[in-house]
A and B are shown apart, each in its own frame.
Chain A
Amino acid sequence: MTELLARNADCIVWLARYMERAENLARILGVAETFARDRAGRNWLAVVQINADEKRFFARHREADARTVPHFYILDPDNPNSILSSVKSARENARTLRPMISIEMWRQINRMNSWMAGLSANAVGPANLAALCEEIKEACQLHVGITEGTFYRDQAHYFYHLGKSVERADQTTRLLDIKYHTLLPRPEDVGSALDISHWNALLKAVAGYQASRRVMAGKITPRSVAAFLLFSDSFPRSVILCVRQMDWLLSQLRTRYHLRGGVKALELLDELRAALTDQTIDQVIDLGLHEFIDWVQRQLMLIFAEIQDSFCVSRQPQ
């Protein structure tokens, strides 16, 4: 089978996105928990804000705190952005894709979904939250590992990684935002031990702590961390790395599999890559980091929409 159904391509990019999203949300909740410990719970609201969920969240809860936010983002079946919902959606997509994905991939997603569905409210309580986030992250990583080891390398594989890269780039910008925009430190805190420890927590959340230590040689500043997350050529979750990856994947689809679409997406990617390579972090911050992040997120949305329009459209019901 050499052809890939457009609808299946759509399912694959979404399967990858949902699993990546679940993993990143677990990371964000993990880091929010660390922040909140230091700041008397003020930072739970930030998680809601970076996901632009204020309206939906406050329709259900009066306070954003250590109970409501983790529940809303992990277990709430009515929140389409909860980890439970993401895993369920990933599983629905995997179900459609079952003739194409490996039996092992399917089994693991199916089991993860059953496990998530069986969690009690207590599992997201303060005492268990950190451990649960860790477990969710590991289940997502198990998915990644099984996929790496078993997923047949044809077009479907390229679409999988396209979805993953889009989502990861988007999520990294959100993580950066949680610290830089919403948690803008009070002037007297800047550079304090507390502030530094938050940046460290953030780096740990994206598994960038060790690498950043080596690269930055101890100069952990807000600017250096932002530069690391946006511009590092070697850090697997940096925005530029994801963008380069997407560019390569899309070019491969066009050359190896002779797909004709995707020209506009490549142009947009080029523009985004230029914005990430032609500026220093100082220039970006002077012009406004939040505005820059916002623009990056919008570009990613446009690129993803282009990919879908080019490759993933099935017949509309008449």
Chain B
Amino acid sequence: MTRPRLALPAPGLLSGYDPAEFFCEALSARDDGAAELAAIAQRLNALDPDDLRHRTARAEKELFDLGITFTVYSDKDAIDRILPFDVLPRVITAGEWTRLEAGIVQRVTAINLFLADLYGGQKILADKVVPADLVLGNVNFHSFMRGMKVPCGTYSHVCGIDLIRDQDGLFRVLEDNARTPSGVSYVVENRNLMLQCFPDLMEGTRVRAVDDYGLMLRRALEEIAPAGVDEPTVVLLSPGIYNSAFFEHVFLAREMGVPLVEGRDLVVENDRVYMLTTAGRAPVHSIYRRIDDFFLDPKVFRPDSMLGVPGLMEAYRKGNVSLANAPGTGVADDKAVYAYMPRIIKYYLGEDAILPNVETFICREAAGLQYTLDNLEHLVVKPVGESGGYGMILGPKATKSEIDEFRAKLKADPANYISQPMIGLSVSPTLTGKGTQPRHVDFRPFAVTGASTRVLAGGLTRVAMKEGSLVVNSSQGGGSKDTWVLAEGA
């Protein structure tokens, strides 16, 4: 069912813009907010493209000057790149947001219950809702976490749920990011940029604020601090300036008002964690860590890790320090486990998933593998352990030889793959060298959980800047847009 679309007066910024068969984030009708959407679309349509381009150049210069960049390393140089920024915002209505928020809270709640079960009684495995070997054989399942009580029962404190919108305009979950999802800094900085460079675009529109993220996160980290600590010291643990997401670490430390530490700033003594300051040692109670599990503590994980802190896991196990996210959450955002998520939600909450998955075939199961092999040219096939869009194949876009090559890989290691039908991702009008064009977008909202789950009223809209491309990852030429969640009764 294709939804009706707004018609706009020509000539305008959107003249000649054709979303084809896809759901359009600017023009397709929703269940609510028709008046606001029309007002915004008309305002965009009335913009002068040259002026917009000029202002975009200024905005991008500002991003560069502020070092809002990610780093790409070549053999010799470290090159700072900005995430390409498209000024035409993506709008989510108040009604859509209510449903999204409920769906995200539901999903994150289920993920945390699932993790608590896996690291506790493993009832869901005994009940055979999720195959035991899928969990127990997963490299991200850490048996040392078993039996440990984590504060508030929360494992995945920061969770990013990747959503896409299909041709009918329905939001579906594409992927869960329960480990250390990144991108929230762009949500806030994109908004700052919009307010600075395009104040006239936002005028008269009631868009929900996103600048309280740092306080949300800090509050959650204080909530999970070890019991009995009145004023817990929170720190952000980063791998350091050579990490490609360092800007985000800086951003979050600044927004939370907490020290940005590296492993070498921390010591463990008598199973307590301290940071090394000019005045000597100072106790640390909650750590928002942006270091992967395997680098956290050389005594437990990779012994060659220079990024971690020897003894950290023992201090954690004793309950003297809290970690967000908890080690071992990767077992819940595995792409194979994803396929079971609707059943996981049902199992723990007795509810149907508010946000549906994309239909998924599990290649470790004979039927799923057969279906995938028979329909490779229509399916997207992804390795379960990769992220960033690596190692996947888009059947409808692949050549015959690419498909044949992939078929061999799939047969050699079927358990490593899942497949999904190719979804016609929604598009959003985007400024390009060839005028305003439809470009595919996805959406990553962020949920923060301490004692309870709060969802930032916004999120990262990633854009595949290349014509026709469905790959939105920044490492592969994706850009971003500001996402406007409209206030109730706007």
Contacts and interface: CB of A to CB of B under 8 A. Distances in A.
Interface stretch (B39-47, B143-151, B261-269): B261-269
B250 interface: yes
B232 to A, nearest CB: 13
Given A99-B250, A110-B67, A315 B277 contact: no
A6 B280 CA distance: 8
B366 interface: no
B66 A110 contact: yes
A258 B280 CA distance: 11
A3 B253 contact: no
Interface in B277-299: 277-280, 282, 298
Which of A3, A9, A107, A111 has its CB near the most chain B CB atoms (within 10 A)? Answer: A3
Contacts of B277: 3-6
B192 to A, nearest CB: 10
Contacts of A110: 65-67
A317 interface: yes
Interface string A1-13: 1011111110000
Interface in A89-119: 92, 95-96, 98-99, 103, 106-107, 110-111, 114
B354 interface: no
B66 A99 contact: no
Nearest to A312: B278
A259 B278 contact: yes
B298 to A, nearest CB: 8
Given A1-B259, A314-B264, A315-B267, A98 B254 contact: yes
A39 B49 CA distance: 59
A311 B282 CA distance: 14
A312 B279 CA distance: 10
A103 B276 contact: no
B246 interface: yes
20 contacts: A3-B278, A3-B279, A5-B259, A5-B265, A5-B275, A5-B277, A6-B278, A7-B276, A9-B278, A95-B246, A98-B250, A98-B254, A99-B253, A155-B278, A258-B279, A260-B279, A261-B278, A315-B267, A316-B264, A318-B298
Contacts of B258: 1
Interface string A68-103: 000000000000000000000000100110110001
A248 interface: no
Nearest to B307: A317
A4 B261 CA distance: 11
B289 to A, nearest CB: 16
B279 A317 contact: no
A315 B250 contact: no
B310 interface: yes
A7 B262 contact: yes
Interface of B: 64-67, 240-241, 246, 250, 253-254, 257-267, 275-280, 282, 298, 306, 310
Given A1-B259, A99-B253, A315 B279 contact: no
A313 interface: yes
Contacts of A8: 259
Given A3-B282, A106-B66, A110-B66, A315 B306 contact: no
B67 A99 contact: no
Contacts of A92: 241
Given A253-B278, A315-B266, 9 more contacts: A3-B259, A5-B275, A5-B277, A9-B278, A103-B66, A106-B67, A261-B278, A313-B276, A315-B265
A107 B241 CA distance: 17
B29 to A, nearest CB: 41
Contacts of B266: 315
Given A99-B253, A317-B264, A4 B278 contact: yes
Contacts of B279: 3-4, 257-260
A20 B275 CA distance: 30
B238 to A, nearest CB: 10
Contacts of A155: 278
Contacts of B253: 99
A281 to B, nearest CB: 38
Nearest to B305: A317
A107 to B, nearest CB: 5
A7 B264 contact: yes
Contacts of A261: 278
A140 B246 CA distance: 26
B260 A99 contact: yes
Interface string A170-213: 00000000000000000000000000000000000000000000
B280 A260 contact: yes
Interface string A106-144: 110011001000000000000000000000000000000
A145 to B, nearest CB: 18
Interface string A253-276: 100011111000000000000000
- A92, A155, A315, most chain B CB atoms within 10 A: A315
Contacts of B276: 5-7, 313-315
4 residue pairs, one from A and one from B, having the closest CB atoms: A99-B253, A99-B254, A3-B277, A311-B278
A98 B248 CA distance: 11
B66 A96 contact: no
Contacts of B278: 3-6, 9, 155, 159, 253, 257, 259, 261, 311-312
B161 to A, nearest CB: 27
Contacts of B254: 98-99
Contacts of B246: 95
Contacts of B65: 107, 110-111, 114
Nearest to B250: A98
Contacts of B267: 315
B255 to A, nearest CB: 9
A5 B67 contact: no
A158 B83 CA distance: 36
Interface in A286-317: 311-317
Contacts of A313: 276
Nearest to A93: B241
Contacts of A6: 265, 276-278
B306 A1 contact: no
A260 to B, nearest CB: 7
Contacts of A253: 278
A85 B310 CA distance: 34
Given A95-B241, A98-B250, A111-B65, A5 B261 contact: yes
Contacts of B250: 95, 98-99
